[in-house]
Amino acid sequence: MARLETAGPGTAGVDEVGRGPLAGPVVAAAVILDPARPIPELDDSKRLSARQREALVPLIRQRAQAWAVAYASAWEIDAYNVLQASLLAMQRAVRALPLRPRRVLVDGNRQPAWDYTTEMIVGGDGRVDAIAAASILAKVARDRQMLALAAHYPGYGFEQHMGYPTPLHKAALQQRGGCPAHRLSFAPVRAALRAGAADT
């Protein structure tokens, strides 16, 4: 377990997940932790198992001073590109916080368009507690969204690969074409749709 820096009073940590998949939304979360109610188990969501992440979600929601989760849809990703959609989801998450943060710490090197005092931290989800908490909320929320899409659009294996470009997912695209959850602007999806059109 990594030893994380404390974000500090009134500071929101922000992170997003889901830039790489071929389907589903990007999801961002913002968290203002309570210094009086620490969560020692926090870590970068990528270093935690699914079970550990699920166990931490209620702790974060109960102990944080404020938290919010927001989405940018596959349609928005196609319309604006995945980077801009990610920044949009982060804007929505911070604006949805019930408390205005004194400052915001964002994982990465691109700042969303807002007027908050902001610091960008590359690898922040593995360095700062509030960003780690945001990464966990965003990851669990997105995984749950993909499980819902798997039930709505069976046959693509969303419940296994969460929309990422695995061989299973690419094979399903070749066989079935896309569905409304797919990001039509992404090259493997476009290629599968072209191949399907040629076959018909």
Q: Measuring CA to CA, which residue among 200, 46, 54 is closest to residue 123? A: 46
Name the helix (H) or strand (E) containing 15.
strand 11-17
Total H helices, total E strands in the chain: 7, 5
* Side-by-side strand order, sheet with 66-72: 66-72, 26-32, 11-17, 103-107, 118-121
CATH of the domain at 76: 3.30.420.10
- Which residue type occupies 48? L
- Which residue type occupies 50? A
Name the helix (H) or strand (E) containing 137.
helix 129-152
Residue 75 forms part of a structural domain: yes
Residue 29 forms part of a structural domain: yes
Residue 183 forms part of a structural domain: no
How much is the pLDDT for 200?
43
Name the helix (H) or strand (E) containing 107.
strand 103-107
- For residues 54-67, give the mean pLDDT: 98
pTM of the model: 0.94
- For residues 154-181, give the mean pLDDT: 95
- For residues 128-139, give the mean pLDDT: 98
Is the predicted pLDDT of residue 199 greater than 60, yes or no? no
Q: How many domains does the chain have?
A: 1
When pLDDT is cut at 50, 70 and 90, the band that residue 169 belongs to is very high
Residue 146 forms part of a structural domain: yes
**% of the chain surpassing 70 pLDDT:** 96
- For residues 7-11, give the mean pLDDT: 92
How much is the pLDDT for 3?
74
- For residues 42-56, give the mean pLDDT: 96
The DSSP code for 9 is: T
- For residues 27-52, give the mean pLDDT: 96
Instruction: Summarize pLDDT for 79-121 with one digit per residue, the tens.
Output: 999 999 999 999 999 999 999 999 999 999 999 999 999 999 9
Residue 2 forms part of a structural domain: no
- For residues 11-30, give the mean pLDDT: 98
Q: Which two tokens stand for residue 16?
A: 């997003």
- Domain extent, residue 19, equals 11-151
Q: What does the alpha-carbon distance between residue 7 and residue 14 come to, in Å, rounded to a whole number?
A: 11
Is the predicted pLDDT of residue 31 greater than 80, yes or no? yes
Residue 30 forms part of a structural domain: yes
Number of neighbouring beta carbons within 10 Å of residue 40 = 9
Mean pLDDT (the chain) is 94
Residue 189 forms part of a structural domain: no
Residue 74 forms part of a structural domain: yes
How much is the pLDDT for 51?
97
Is the predicted pLDDT of residue 4 greater than 90, yes or no? no
Is 119 strand, coil or helix? Answer: strand
How much is the pLDDT for 2?
58
